[in-house]
Amino acid sequence: MSELTFYTNPMSRGRVVRWMLEELGIPYDTRILDFEGAMKTPEYLAINPMGKVPAIKHGDTVVTEVAAICTYLADQFPEKGLAPPVDSRERGTYHRWLFFMAGPYEMATSAKAYDWRIDDDNVQAVGCGRLEDVIRTLEQALQKAPYICGEQFTAADVLVSSYLWWEMMQKNLPPNEVFQDYVSRMESRPAARKANQLDDELVEQMEIETA
């Protein structure tokens, strides 16, 4: 049995962590949880009191939140090369984009999806700023190099690509050639394809079981 347990649902942000795990190529156990049942049991709430997935348990360490999980895993397995060295110039860039996606990007795209008001009256008080500012900032970064941190693929690319893909699919982002090209290249990675296949098969299995 692996010392790493992955709690997820194939129709959740757990797909991002699945990709990260497949990039690492390490053994892990998967626990599939349904949204209204297993995620709300005392057993799982002891893992994540929010009653949400994904989460991981690595030995005695529990980590929740997608960006935190990806960051933790990259640091735990440095030999896999999914994070810039701590003393490198790229390390700060790496942390910048992990937190940017978990913060301003997620907030701004959620505001778009649910029609939350961000305008001249409150934009200075809202940490994410306007969606168009978020889009422009990411677009400028992705035009500079093949990966978000430069020449090296990192855990930040797993997060950036996954989140861009989802919001483009949901049409919360306007058509954008830079984003589409980047996501296409990231999604073509063998680990990304394998992760999608595993989760797509789980979705099909769940649909058959509930039919």
DSSP β-ladder status, 29-32 and 61-64: unpaired
Domain range list for the chain: 4-81, 90-190
pTM of the model: 0.95
Question: Closest Cα to residue 22, out of 150, 168, 141, 186?
Answer: 186
The pLDDT of residue 187: 97
- Domain 4-81 fold is Glutaredoxin (3.40.30)
Encoded tokens for 157: 């690319």
Q: What is the mean pLDDT of the chain?
A: 95
Q: What is the DSSP secondary structure assignment for residue 83, as one 8-state letter?
A: S
> Does pLDDT of 161 surpass 70?
yes
Nearest-angstrom CA–CA distance, 26 and 115: 40
Residues 28-82: tens digit of each pLDDT: 999 999 998 999 999 999 999 999 999 999 999 999 999 999 999 999 999 999 9
Amino acid code (one letter) for 69: I
Encoded tokens for 40: 């709300």
Nearest-angstrom CA–CA distance, 210 and 189: 32
Nearest-angstrom CA–CA distance, 206 and 12: 14
Q: What is the DSSP secondary structure assignment for residue 7, as one 8-state letter?
A: E
Encoded tokens for 91: 């390390």
Encoded tokens for 186: 């990231």
> Does pLDDT of 173 surpass 90?
yes
Q: Which residues of 52-73 are buried (b: 16+ CB within 10 A; e: fewer)?
A: bbbbbbbeeeebbbbbebbbbb
Helix/strand/coil for 174: coil
The reply to whether omega before 54 is within 30° of 0 (cis) is: yes
- Of the candidate CATH numbers 1.20.1050.10, 1.10.287.110, 1.10.3720.10, 3.30.413.10, the domain formed by 90-190 belongs to 1.20.1050.10
> Does pLDDT of 170 surpass 80?
yes
Asked if 32 and 10 count as a contact pair (C-beta separation under 8 A), the reply is: yes
The reply to whether omega before 175 is within 30° of 0 (cis) is: no
Question: Partners of 104 in the beta sheet?
Answer: none
